[in-house]
Amino acid sequence: SGATCRDPSHNPSGNDGASQNRAWERFGIHSVVFQRRRPFHGERLRRLLEAWPIPGGNAFDLDALGPWSPGEGGKDVEDILRPVLRSKGFCWVDQEPLRQHVWSHAGKTLAVRPADWWWAVLGEEQLRFKVGYPGVEAEYRNVKREKWHRDVGDRRQELVFIGGPALREQDLVPLLEACLLTDDELGEFWERMRHLEVPNDDFDMNGLLKKLGASQERAD
């Protein structure tokens, strides 16, 4: 739901939290949280991302996105998205359903990229190997305690949108919901999921060394 955001990590000025909160309240900065437990349709999500009015970018026609109800005054997609100053979180995409996707948006950068495997899709041996990393078992226990759903595990949409006074939850949420799989698509999705499994490449010493090497390259 819409609320004034009080996350100190969103403070670019480095001021204390109280000063930030006063400034955000003064300028009407607030957040909208979107949480769902079904995947995005990858193609519809791509169209939404292409329509985002990033400075210097071009809008994409979303007529094919599917039925949705615009907000008061019949706002178009650009009007709805333009007040979003920053957004971030995790999402679940049907085209690559075994991996988390990280949503990252600030300024002129907007990206949704695959990241680590969802915990819920790991096999027993893969899970045992992964929690052997220092600190990872505590992370897994926290996910099980805070984020787990009896049907889909940790797979989810969990996105936060931060914007000014013109950011309206009742306009933004229908756009995001139109990107989710329909009931019919969801049935087909679960049928396809029966034949998918996480490869074992990441869950042996060679995979560990490869992953560490990739991390080092990014650091360099």
* Model pLDDT, residue 133: 85
> What is the Cα Rg of the chain in Å?
19
* Model pLDDT, residue 203: 84
* Model pLDDT, residue 10: 44
* Model pLDDT, residue 56: 52
* Model pLDDT, residue 159: 98
Q: pLDDT tens track of the chain, all 220 residues?
A: 444 444 444 444 445 556 556 656 666 889 999 999 999 999 999 999 998 987 654 333 334 333 333 344 457 899 999 999 999 999 999 999 999 999 999 988 899 999 999 999 999 999 999 998 889 999 999 999 999 999 999 999 999 999 989 999 999 999 999 999 999 999 999 999 999 999 998 887 666 666 655 555 554 5
Which residue from 112, 116, 91, 88 is spatially nearest to 5, judged by alpha carbons? 88
* Model pLDDT, residue 190: 97
Q: All domains of the chain, ordered by start, with CATH?
A: 8-219 (3.30.1220.10)
Does this model's pTM top 0.95? My answer is: no
HEC secondary structure over the chain: CCECCCCHHHCCCCCCHHHHHHHHHHHCCEEEEEEECCCECHHHHHHHHHHCCCCCCCCCCCHHHCCCCCCCCCCCHHHHHCCEEEEEEEECECCCCCEEEEEEEECCEEEEEEEEECHHHCCHHHHHHHCCCCCHHHHHHHHHHHCCECCCECCCEEEEEEECCCCCHHHHHHHHHCCECCHHHHHHHHHHHCCCCCCHHHCCHHHHHHHHHHHHHHHC
* Model pLDDT, residue 137: 95
